[in-house]
């Protein structure tokens, strides 16, 4: 059963626009473009099925890992977990993405997928798991 669909690897302008329009929170701090360039080498947009939930994977420069960022509100993505190479298939799958997408595609996917029902489901799940 298909659980995730890769939309693509965000290009520089898409990352800048996304970071201006949405908050990406890591360790209670909002990620800026400058900090992104310093810490990460790529940002991959994935759509989680069947709920059409947008998920961001940020490739960490200093380690062999991706940070999985889930929507917490309509305008906020927060850290969920690290994806390490030991999760070989998932890590290799995300790391191999070379298809670049721009601001317009990113914005359209967010407008379609990021809605109150997706956010509410994630909040309930996180509350149940005592993550918030």
Phi and psi at 105, nearest 5°, equal -65, -45
Q: Which two tokens stand for residue 120?
A: 């509410």
**β-bridge mates for residue 54, sequence order:** 47
DSSP state of 12: H
Q: Which two tokens stand for residue 71?
A: 């929507």
pTM for the full predicted model: 0.86
pLDDT digits (tens, 9 = 90+) for 42-88: 999 999 888 788 999 999 999 889 999 998 888 899 998 888 877 67
| Span of 2-6, 32-36, 96-100, 113-117 with lowest mean pLDDT | 113-117
Q: Are 101 and 8 spatial neighbours (Cβ–Cβ below 8 Å)?
A: yes
Q: Is 113 helix (H, G, I), strand (E, B) or coil?
A: helix
């Amino acid at each position: 059963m298909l659980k995730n669909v890769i939309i693509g690897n965000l290009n520089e302008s898409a990352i800048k626009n996304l970071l201006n329009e949405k908050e990406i929170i890591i360790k209670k701090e909002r990620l800026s473009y400058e900090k992104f360039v310093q810490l990460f080498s790529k940002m991959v947009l994935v759509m989680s099925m069947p709920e059409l939930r947008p998920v961001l994977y940020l490739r960490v420069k200093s380690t062999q890992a991706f940070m999985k960022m889930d929507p917490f509100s309509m305008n906020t993505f927060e850290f969920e977990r690290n994806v390490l190479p030991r999760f070989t298939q998932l890590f290799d799958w995300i790391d191999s993405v070379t298809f670049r997408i721009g601001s317009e595609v990113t914005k359209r996917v967010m407008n379609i997928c990021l809605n109150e029902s997706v956010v509410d489901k994630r909040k309930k799940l996180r509350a149940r798991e005592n993550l918030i």
